[in-house]
Amino acid sequence: MKYFSFLLVLGVTIALAVLVSIPIGQIPPIAPLLDPNHGFWQNSISEDELAAEELTLENLTAPVEVVYDQNLIPHIFAESEADLYRAQGYVTAQHRLWQMEFQTMAAAGRVSEIVGPIALDLDRMTRRKGLAFGAELGMKFLQENDPETLALVEAYADGVNQYIAQLSDARLPVEYKILNYRPEPWSAFKSLLLLKYMSDMLVGDRDLEFTNLRKILGEAKLDRLYPEFPSENDPVIEAAHVWDFEPLPVLKPDSMAYPDEELLISPLSQPEEGTGSNNWAVAGKKTKNGNPILANDPHLSLNLPSLWYAMQLSTPSNTVKGATLPGALGVISGFNQDIAWGVTNATRDTRDWYKITFQDESRKAYQYGTTWKPAERRIEEIKIKGQEAFIDTVIYTHYGPIVYDRSFRAERQDINFALKWTVHMGSNEQKTFLLMNKAKNHNDYNRALDHYTAPAQNFVFACKSGDIAMRIQGKFPLKWPGQGKFLMDGADPKMEWQGYIPNEQNASTLNPERGFVSSANQHPTDSTYPYYVFDNSYEHYRNRRLNRKLGEMEQITVEDMMGLQFDDYNLQAAEALPILIRLLGTYKADSPEAEKYLQELKSWDFFADPNQKGQTLYSIWSSETFESIWRELLESKAAVVRPSSYQTVELMAKSEQDSIFEVKSVDGVEAADYHVRLGFDSMLVVMEKWEAEQGDYSWANYKKTTIQHLVPTFKSFSVVNVYTGGGSGILNATGSRHGASWRMVVELGSQVQAFGVYPGGQSGNPGSKFYENFIPVWANGGYLDFGFRMKGDVDNVLFKTTLK
Amino acid sequence: MRFIFLTILVALLVVFLNSVGPFWMVMIGIAFLSALISPNGFGGFMGGGLGMGLAWLGQCIYLGINTSSPLPDRMGELMGMGSGMTLIAITGVVGFLLGGFSGWTGILFRKMFQKTPENVYRG
């Protein structure tokens, strides 16, 4: 009996211990998670409470000192570059390990390993786009051409790995505990992959949509609705810039046939609208102190942990500070003792699609001119949590991978398309940032940029010596006008890119007469630039607002530049609202509700400040109106993209009787006013519902800016309903999910003055007091002091750690 | 008396051993302690359970007060359990169950080797 009772209770105890140690469905093992000594409770402790005076970091040539200021911004003082980047890897991993790894898992198409089959389709897409393939080529490029950079990238990886190796259960980031996995070793490859991930986030194309539009609308109407330059073009490089080079010839084939069936495949995901950025620099002659001032605010998805991590990186010969990308070396947008630089996305179509004709079902060869070229195969094994791995075979042509084929998203059409993208070409973006971090003048800046391929960026520059500059850098294919706007026939060798624009012929400007340089994702140049620069997503509003303001301003101070980054003026509304009101006429004049809204709109000053109601009403009315105008076009079964809001407003203003306003399904509808009224009615419906359910419709309450954790289902790790203004097409581009992911203003006087902020915090740990502490500052248009720190400075030190 | 002694020792064991070892190591430790101290069966269960449960509860509360971190509430919401208070309670209950069964197992283990006294009434 006593043996039996012992065995019974022992059995129950063991069963209990096992039950709390294994995952049940999506629920992680409960005891390791709840154990106060190792589980999530330990993540309640903030970094300053865990401060250590000394930590072991092997392979250093000399001890490295890390000083954290009161915002947990590390200032790393190392004796050599290799030590510096080893320490950067270690320190970044301390605060952002989970994020670094998760982002590169996403870039490698390995999310299914963490979250299970729900991510399989996403992973297949990522792999078929060839991001990892591109990073492999980047590794090969470094091994063959730049062992010095590779050694530094490996030192960084070693730093990350030494952190992972000593990581205790207690200190493991909480996301690993919840999702029940552990970090794997970091590698140089992963750092390269991260930069490919940025390309994927920032580069789009609309080849498929334009192919369909060409079929539906015909060439003439397409050109009218989607002109390659807007009527009021205000490009990045000032209009009337003189191009002092002999352009390379680009031969347009005499005859060509585009694949022109209506294509019912679903397009690649695109960078979301609202993704963009501003940067500018003003020359000393326009500033109060006579020093150049540079500003940069990249707009991206608003996420936690933040994409950016602030750092100062010092060696005896150089000190640089600014925003780093966890996983990449050096500072990406920042300043050193001599220069400052910043980036905005230089949208341009560098992603083209070729229709591939295979010889037979085996898909071993494809047609190219009069011959058959052999195709290669890449086997992608996608591991899935809790399931057998999925094997995907991706066929590679000399253009690039076949993304769509019979096994993936082909919907009933047996179609093969190969993707040609500059991301698949061996390149060395990391070198650009390593060199830029220690650049001293305009020549160094240009030399750094020569290594940069993708994603193409507008690099703004300012130097203590007084120079300001802008260069649009990327690897841009030479294209004849129209090339790559539509899907092309891969069997026709005449459709190939004919080479690349030489770096020295990329559009750039140095010290222009107007006293400033600026970019806001608009057209790179005016139409005199001798190369074809098509893209569908160029900005038409932020750029004009920015250039007007910079043109008017004199005696500029750092505070003025901060004000401009936080400028809420809605230029689109200023241009479109009077037209909407005119076309509305006396419609619904007898309704008190309509009258109330109309009065609010008429008295609105066009600033999208958080307390403004006019902005809410305008955003609903305009979007419902534009929606109505293009409804019949968008109802096509094939994927299309609608004309830009700028073009739509212009058509309404200049030709309200245009045939494009006809609605075929409704008799007698021939003009824009119909859509304006319909939009107004829709607005009344939306507002009635909103007022009944939510009440307040001031702008911040309506747009509900949310800074979302990288795992969207971890809602309680997100920060919702941030009270702040701005929106898409506005300099303060903060919409509901996108906005200024980093703001920086630098004045390059004898003492560099710098300010920066981002919507997040230095810690990636949702339990830390440094996780979201910058958000209120950011939301109010405030900044943190980003001035340099010297090694011995004692003010505002949170703690110091020596790595040795 | 032995039950109180066991409770205290188990709590100390959790504080020291659990900070370096996983929870199952603590469970084995509790079984040994309770076999050693040997209260009755119920005392073993309650001693192990209260010792570990209260220690875990205390550690959570200590961390909560000391850090005033929003994490317990965030985790509570994430796990669909409302607030961090619920999680503190659940942690205590899980600790109690793990400690309790370990303690009971220890007692029964010892009993296996004890001779059952015969003819107790004869003296």
Per residue in A23-79, pLDDT (tens digit) is 887 778 999 999 999 999 999 999 999 999 999 999 999 999 999 999 999 999 999
pTM score, whole prediction: 0.94
Total domains, chain A: 2
Residue A135 lies in a domain: no
Mean pLDDT confidence for A448-457: 93
Of A210-224, A654-668, A789-803, give the range with the top mean pLDDT. A789-803
The three-class DSSP label of residue A695 is coil
Which amino acid, A172?
L
Residue B121 lies in a domain: no
Mean pLDDT confidence for A455-482: 94
Residue B119 lies in a domain: no
Q: Are A760 and A799 in a shared domain?
A: yes
Q: Which residues of B touch A28 (CB under 8 A)?
A: none
Residue A796 lies in a domain: yes
B39: distance to nearest CA of chain A, Å? Answer: 16
> CA separation (Å) from A400 to A255, A310, B110?
25, 36, 71
| Residue of A16, A174, A714 with shortest CB distance to B97 | A16
Q: Which residues of A touch B116 (CB under 8 A)?
A: 2
Q: Which residues of A touch B71 (CB under 8 A)?
A: 40-41, 43-44, 174, 766-767
Q: How far apart are CA A334 and CA A343, in angstroms?
A: 10
Q: Are A709 and A682 in a shared domain?
A: no
CB contact A12 to B (< 8 Å): yes
Residue B120 lies in a domain: no
Residue A728 lies in a domain: yes
Domain boundary among A664, A697, A730: A697
Residue A626 lies in a domain: yes
Mean pLDDT confidence for A525-542: 92
Confidence of residue B123 (pLDDT cuts 50, 70, 90): very low
Hey, are the CB atoms on A41 and B63 less than 8 Å from each other? yes
Q: Which residues of A touch B91 (CB under 8 A)?
A: 34, 36, 41
Question: What is the residue range of B27's domain?
Answer: 2-113
Hey, are the CB atoms on B23 and A31 less than 8 Å from each other? yes
Task: Note the pLDDT of residue A431.
Answer: 95
Q: What is the pLDDT of residues B92-116, one digit of tens each?
A: 999 999 999 999 999 888 888 877 6
Q: What is the pLDDT of residues A485-510, one digit of tens each?
A: 888 889 999 999 999 999 999 999 99
Is ipTM strictly over 0.95?
Answer: no
pLDDT at residue A623 is higher than 70? yes
Q: What is the pLDDT of residues A71-126, one digit of tens each?
A: 999 999 999 999 999 999 999 999 999 999 999 999 999 999 998 898 999 999 99
Q: Which residues of B touch A45 (CB under 8 A)?
A: 63, 67, 69
Question: What is the residue range of A766's domain?
Answer: 705-803
Q: Which residue does chain A place closest to B74, by CA atoms?
A: A716
Closest of A724, A709, A701, A727 to residue A778, by C-alpha: A724
Residue A186 lies in a domain: no
Please return the burial class of A124, using the count of CB atoms within 10 Å of its CB with bins 0-12, 13-18 and 19+.
buried
Mean pLDDT confidence for B67-90: 91
Structure tokens at A362: 């085996």
Residue B122 lies in a domain: no
Q: What is the pLDDT of residues B23-41, one digit of tens each?
A: 999 899 999 998 888 777 7
- Helix, strand, coil percent values for chain B (each to nearest 5): 80, 0, 20
**Please, what is the average pLDDT of chain A?**
92
Q: Are A679 and A729 in a shared domain?
A: no
B56: distance to nearest CA of chain A, Å? Answer: 6
Q: What is the pLDDT of residues A398-415, one digit of tens each?
A: 999 998 877 777 665 657
Hey, are the CB atoms on B78 and A9 less than 8 Å from each other? no
Task: Note the pLDDT of residue A264.
Answer: 63
CB contacts < 8 Å between A and B, how many? 110
Residue A409 lies in a domain: no
Please return the burial class of B60, using the count of CB atoms within 10 Å of its CB with bins 0-12, 13-18 and 19+.
buried
- No. of H helices and E strands in chain B? 5, 0
Hey, are the CB atoms on A45 and B75 less than 8 Å from each other? no
Residue B8 lies in a domain: yes
Q: Are A689 and A709 in a shared domain?
A: no
Residue B87 lies in a domain: yes
Task: Note the pLDDT of residue A734.
Answer: 93
Domain boundary among A697, A723, A739: A697
Q: Are A669 and A721 in a shared domain?
A: no
Q: Are A730 and A784 in a shared domain?
A: yes
A389: distance to nearest CA of chain B, Å? Answer: 29
Annotate A89-132 with DSSP letters as a single string: HHHHHHHHHHHHHHHHHHHTT-THHHH-GGGHHHHHHHHHHTHH
Residue A501 lies in a domain: no
Residue A28 lies in a domain: no
| Residue of A5, A17, A715 with shortest CB distance to B24 | A17
B contact set with A (CB within 8 A): 18-19, 22-24, 27, 31, 56, 59-60, 63-64, 67, 69-75, 77-78, 87, 90-91, 94, 97-98, 101-102, 104-105, 108-109, 111-112, 116
Pairing of strands A488-489, A351-355: parallel
Q: Which residue does chain B place closest to A712, by CA atoms?
A: B78
The three-class DSSP label of residue A707 is strand
Total domains, chain B: 1
Domain boundary among A665, A697, A729: A697
Q: What is the pLDDT of residues A141-180, one digit of tens each?
A: 999 999 999 999 999 999 999 999 999 999 999 999 999 9
Task: Note the pLDDT of residue A534.
Answer: 87
Q: Which residues of A touch B72 (CB under 8 A)?
A: 41, 44
In contact, A137 and A428? CB cutoff 8 Å: no
pLDDT at residue A668 is higher than 90? no
